[in-house]
Chain A
């Protein structure tokens, strides 16, 4: 069975702090994909990043970076110099290669205070 665990329910930081959101996954598939989505207060899920199981190269995009480690089944997300606009619920998700069906974690609510 596939499963995604986001152990952090809520995180609160002060603006400009760095913050890391943890994601641990379980799957028996050898080929799979990992995603991060952002859900701001408006409610619409926004795609942030997709990584496949064959590519463990870490990625940086502006203030965002992702650390994928197959050995520990983790796909963590770091926001550098957080801003108030980063306040949202962040979801990690997993899908098998042949269906695209997403299995989501419970989400981490990030609050960035000014």
Chain B
């Protein structure tokens, strides 16, 4: 079956602009996660959803970052007033449920570059 998909694969934007990154999880997976990976680092947790609700958003760096999952499937990560420090690969993952007993399947990521 289809894996996790993310669009766009690459996004270049100017400092101060607004961007949206989209994630389409594996069908039937109720848990959806967003991570951010900077060059040479491991992924860092941002937020996860169980169904439509954000169950844990403790990893969002500040209030410029926001994510939604209105119908419990596709999710959108929104970044306002982008800064050069936001440049990274944004990874989305999904899992059967949010328990640690299930592995997460990752998408290919969106490479965000803020100039």
**Chain A residues in contact with chain B, CB under 8 A?**
4, 32-33, 35, 37, 42-47, 50, 52, 91, 93, 95-107
Contacts and interface: CB of A to CB of B under 8 A. Distances in A.
B-side interface size class: 20 to 34
A100 B102 contact: yes
A45 B42 CA distance: 11
B98 to A, nearest CB: 4
Contact of A43 (B35, B89, B102): B89
A97 B91 CA distance: 22
B20 interface: no
A97 B42 contact: no
Interface string B78-105: 0000000000010101010111111111
A93 B31 CA distance: 18
A44 B48 contact: no
A47 B104 contact: yes
Contact of A100 (B41, B89, B104): B104
Interface of B: 31, 33, 35, 40-45, 48, 55-56, 59, 89, 91, 93, 95, 97-109
B98 A99 contact: yes
Contacts, number: 74
A104 B48 contact: no
A43 B42 CA distance: 12
A104 B35 CA distance: 10
Nearest to B111: A43
A43 B100 contact: no
Contacts of A52: 100-101
A33 B102 CA distance: 9
Question: B35, B91, B101: which has the most chain A beta carbons within 10 Å?
Answer: B101
13 contacts: A4-B42, A43-B89, A44-B107, A44-B109, A45-B93, A47-B104, A52-B100, A91-B43, A100-B48, A101-B59, A102-B33, A103-B45, A104-B42
